[in-house]
Amino acid sequence: YQKKLGERKLILSIDRLDYTKGIPQRLEAFDTFLERNPEYKDKIIIILIAVPSRTQVEHYKLLKKQVDELIGRINGKYGTIGWTPIWYLYRSLPFSSLAALYSISDVAVLTPLRDGMNLIAKEYVATKTEGKGVLVLSEMAGASRELGEAIIVNPHNNEELVEALEKALMMPEEEQRERNKAMQERLRRYNIVRWVEEFTERLLYTKKLQKEANAKILTSKMKDRLVGDYHKSKRRLLLLDYDGTLVPFFGRPEEAKPDDELLKLLEKLAENPKNQVVLISGRDKDTLERWFGNLNLSLVAEHGVWIKEKEWGMVEPLTDKWKINISPILELYVNRTPGSFIEEKEFSLAWHYRKADPDLGSIRVRELIEILVNLTANLNLRVLEGSKVVEIKNIGINKGRAALRWISKEQWDFLLAVGDDLTDEDVFAVLPKIGYSIKVGFSPSKARFNLYLPRDVRLLLEELVSGG
C-alpha cells in the first residue's frame, strides 16, 4: 500500500455496508471537500472499504447501488489518468491487512449515523504506536465518549464533516501525538476487567433503584386509604401538573389539548365546594386560559410566573431581556438536532427534543445544559431539565413557591400534589407531611408515592369524584 500511495496522504474509511453507517453522507462530504480544496488534487487517496452485509435484502442492494454511483461520480469528476481519489474495496479484509492500513493511514473517518461502541475506532488508535494519525469520529458512536481527543462530528452535518477533514489534514504532528497518547492511555486503563466492574456496579445500582421504586408504588391498599381520607375531609387542596401528569406527552406542545373526558373530570372536582383545585403548569398563560379558563380552577402558568385566581397576575416584576443572549444558543442546537424546536413564553424559553433522534438528543441535551449553566451563572436564571425539554427561566420562580400561595391560605385536612418531572419536585418539597405527593414515572423523587402513567392519575381522580 505504501509504495502505491507514494507521498500522498491516506484517508481511511471502513464500515459494513449498512444504512446506519452513514457511507453516502461521508461520500457527499468527500465530494464537497475535493471541490472546496483543489490543492489536494493528487495529494490524497481515500480508501473506502465496505464489508458486504445482507446482500440478499433489496434495500441493501439499493444502498450498494447508491454507494457505487457516488464513488463513480466522484472519481469521474475529480480523477485523472494518474490519480483516482477513492479506492473502493467491496469486501472484508484479514486483520493483518486492516492493521497495516490503520498503521499507514494519516486520517481515519468513522462517521456512523447510529452505532454501538465502534471497535474500529479503538483499533485505529491502538495501532498508532508512533503517534501520527487523526481520528474523525461520529458523536453517535459509543467510543466517542472515551475517545474525546478525536475530532468528534455530527454525521448528518456535511459542513462539519468537511471542516473536520480539513482540520485533520492540517493538524501538526505534535498535536496528533498528544491526542493519540491520551486516547491510548485511556484504552489501556479502561480494559475488560474495568468494564465488567463498572457494568456490575451499574446493574446493582439499577436493581436498587427498581426496588426503591417498587416500594413507593401507590398500591391498592394505599390508594383506598388516600380515597378514604379525601372523602372524610372537609377542606381539600389538589395541586395538579398538566403535561405528563394528566395527559401523555406529544411531539409538539399544542397537540396535548385536553379531551372532553378530562375537562369533565376537572369540572366535577372544581365544582365541589370542599375542593380547591390548582393546575400548576409550565404552559404559557394564554394556552391555559384558552383550555381551562371557563372552569372553576386556579391556574399557574410558566412554572409560577403567572397566577390566576379571579384574574391573571404576576408573582413579581420580571424581565425577558436575557432572551437575546440565550435564543441564539437554542437556535444553534435546533439546527444541529433535527426534530428539535424552541418554545418561547413570555418569561422563559424551552428547547424541546422529543421528536429528535433519541441517541442524538441525549448527546445534545448534555452539551446544551453544560453551555447554558455556564452562560446563565451570573444572569439570575435557572436551567431546568424536564421530560425531553430544557427550560430557562428566572431563578426565583418555581412551582413550589406558587403552591405555597394556596398551602398557606388555610388549614387543609387533605392535600394532594401530582407531577411528573423535576419542576414538580419544588411542590413536593413544600407539601406538608400530611399531604399525599405522587410522582408519575420512576425517576428519583421527593414524592411519597409513584404511579406509572397519566391514565393512572385520571383513574385516581375519578375515584375521588365518584364518592366525594
Residue 417 gets the label, from left (phi > 0), alpha (psi -120 to 50) or beta, of: beta
Q: How far apart are CA 25 and CA 166, in angstroms?
A: 17
Buried b (16+ CB within 10 A) or exposed e, 52-74: ebeeeeeebeebbeebeebbeeb
Going from the C-alpha of 29 to that of each of 10, 66, 150, 160, the distances in angstroms are: 16, 15, 18, 9
Beta strands in 69-133 (DSSP E): 86-89, 107-110
CB proximity list for 298: less than 8 A, separation 6 or greater = 276, 277, 278, 279, 307, 308, 309, 406
Strands 298-301 and 275-280: parallel
Cell numbers standing for residue 444? 428519583
Which residues are bridge partners to 351 per DSSP? 342, 390
Q: How far apart are CA 101 and CA 83, in angstroms?
A: 19
Q: How far is CA 127 from the centre of its chain?
A: 33
Which secondary structure element, helix H or strand E, spans residue 304, and what is its range?
none
Helices (H), 140-219: 158-170, 173-189, 192-216
Q: How far apart are CA 157 and CA 150, in angstroms?
A: 17
Q: Residue for cell digits 383506598?
A: 224
Going from the C-alpha of 303 to that of each of 14, 242, 281, 425, 435, the distances in angstroms are: 50, 11, 6, 12, 21
Whether residue 68 lies in the annotated active site: no
DSSP 317-354: ----TTHHHHHHHHHHHHHHSTT-EEEE-SSEEEEE-T
Half-sphere exposure of 8 (CA within 13 A, CB side): 23
Q: What's the length of the chain? A: 468
Q: How far apart are CA 46 and CA 109, in angstroms?
A: 10
Q: Of these residues, 15, 31, 115, 241, which one is catalytic? A: 241
By annotation, the residues acting in catalysis are 241
